[in-house]
Amino acid sequence: MRQSFLTVSAVAVAAMAWAPQAQAAGTSTGGAVAAYGQQQINLKQNGWGDARSCVVYSKSTVRCFKTHAEADRALGYSRATDPLVTNAKDPSILIPACASGWTCLYEHSNGGGRRLIFNDYYWHNLNEYGFDNQTSSWRNNQSDSWSWLAGGTGGNGGQISLSTKSYSSNLGAYNDWASSVAA
């Protein structure tokens, strides 16, 4: 956690020049519509219901799951084989779960609460997913792409970088701050 927080803090200002250009890309203005079991739910207008993990496969394809374990299985993730978890020097540190090739945002610290998962690189406005100003921890498990959080929609309002293969179990001063993500 300390290493990741320092990475975010130390790199945030210098990395601003490397961030993707702010642009309003993403879902419809009425909210992201996700497949959840046999139904469709509008994450912005109707909330998540009892869904706990939602995977954004593309601008038009979002799928939600009742548990994190269901989403992990759909993405081929196993905590038991996660190198960051199995090679952790201090097993008491809670590392947020996230499948290889994805960036995961969590509602609460230590990877708790609802989880929103991305892997396509454009600015997603978190309000479209019912997740605006609700990110408290994250993990970027992509090997070749940094991700970014921004305080405003479309990448505006200041940005922090999420370096590859890193995480933060607690966003500290940036808790519940993000309104968009490029992942």
Are residues 147 and 51 in contact, defined by beta-carbon separation less than 8 angstroms? no
Compute the average pLDDT of residues 161-169: 96
Compute the average pLDDT of residues 141-165: 95
pTM of the full predicted structure? 0.85
**pLDDT-derived band of residue 133, with 50, 70 and 90 as boundaries?**
very high
Measure the CA–CA gap between 105 and 101, rounded to whole angstroms: 14
Q: Which fold has domain 2-182?
A: Gamma-B Crystallin; domain 1 (2.60.20)
Q: What is the pLDDT of residues 80-101, one digit of tens each?
A: 999 998 888 887 788 999 999 9
User: How do the domains of the chain map onto residue ranges?
Assistant: 2-182
Alpha carbon of residue 152 to chain centroid: 15
Secondary structure letter of residue 164 according to DSSP: T
Measure the CA–CA gap between 60 and 52, rounded to whole angstroms: 20
Proportion of the chain above pLDDT 90, given as a percent = 75
